[in-house]
Amino acid sequence: MKNFLKNNEIRAREVRVIDSDGEQLGVLTTSGALKKAQESGLDLIEVSPNAVPPVCKIDDFGSFIFNKKKAEKKQKQATKQAILKSVRFGIRISKHDMDVKISQIRKFIEKGHPVKLILQFRGREAMHEEFGMEKMKAFTGALEDISTLESKPRKQGNRIQVILRPEKPKKQ
């Protein structure tokens, strides 16, 4: 939040003035604009210092700052960030557990989050990489209608990883 100058802090000779109702009063001297603000019992706030001449608004400073913070908060909430979710499972995952994981992953993808699938090998399971690749293909195949693969499944140490991104809606 930037600092707004108010009343006697404004150093410009002339300012473009907007009253509390949002109507333009035109270009006035700073002292004349201050008098108008004091007559209405409000503050003169510099809202656009880089304009020529600077733009000032006649408003209550406290409510002006409150409304600015409220608007910033609303704007921040509107820019939702996608968080990378990760789902881990083993090579011996049962059919029912696999269905539960797939429905969980579907919920994440439908909300717009990318999902990292991690197949963890334990002990001697790492010798059978082909079974792990089959499980990973089963997962990605079940989710291919709503997601796209970022890259092919790859083995890193004792795990196989792949990242699924939500599929962008097709333009019609």
Q: What whole-number distance in Å separates Cα of residue 114 and Cα of residue 112?
A: 7
The pLDDT value recorded for residue 151 is: 81
pLDDT above 70 coverage of the chain, percent: 97
The pLDDT value recorded for residue 1 is: 60
pLDDT digits (tens, 9 = 90+) for 42-88: 988 898 888 888 999 999 888 889 998 998 888 887 776 778 888 89
The pLDDT value recorded for residue 81 is: 73
Query: What's the rounded mean pLDDT across residues 115-138?
Result: 87
The pLDDT value recorded for residue 157 is: 85
In order of their start, the domains of the chain are 7-75 (3.10.20.80), 85-166 (3.30.110.10)
Question: Measuring CA to CA, which residue among 143, 138, 163 is closest to residue 153?
Answer: 163
Query: What's the rounded mean pLDDT across residues 155-169?
Result: 85
Q: What whole-number distance in Å separates Cα of residue 135 and Cα of residue 13?
A: 74
The pLDDT value recorded for residue 137 is: 87
With a CB cutoff of 8 Å and minimum separation 6, the contacts of 78 are: none
Q: Residue 166 is which amino acid?
A: P
pLDDT digits (tens, 9 = 90+) for 80-108: 677 888 889 888 888 999 899 999 999 98
DSSP 83: -
